[in-house]
Amino acid sequence: MQTIAFVLRIVLGGLLVVAGALKLGDPTAFANEITNYRFLPSLAPWLAATLPVIEIALGLLLVVAPIVWRRAAALAAAGLLAVFTVAVAQVVARGINVDCGCFGGNSGPVTALTVGRDLVLLAMAGAIMWLEREHT
């Protein structure tokens, strides 16, 4: 179980670090992508400035922090991924044609696959919390 938790932490943590780092390169473009979701557009500039840093921090915590911090990071990542899932699901449900912005520019359009991917990542965060609990 420790090996599974380790692999999940590396995959999810690494993905969050990469996604956050790619978004940092062009915060204006990321703010535009957020606005295009038509889901809390007034928060777009603030989210574009803070989300990448939060993603990087959570990713690093998942990979290198002591277990109590890893569990907290997994819980925070689950919350973040739940919001992301709601955001992409409402885009799909409303038929809005928008690029994901999930990994910076050219991330591709939001589709049902995007929703599925986010659900898998959310499940990974939940599994990390559960598996790490087993070793405390």
Assess whether pLDDT exceeds 60 at residue 55.
Answer: yes
Q: Is 9 helix (H, G, I), strand (E, B) or coil?
A: helix
> Which tokens go with 130?
């559960």
Say what the pLDDT of residue 63 is: 97
Question: Average pLDDT, whole number, for the chain?
Answer: 92
Structure-block tokens of residue 43? 């928060």
pLDDT of residue 135: 53
What digits encode the pLDDT tens for the residues 79-120? 999 999 999 999 999 999 999 888 877 788 999 999 999 999
Q: What is the pTM of this model?
A: 0.91
What are the tokens at 3?
A: 């090996």
| 105, 64 contact by CB (below 8 A) | no
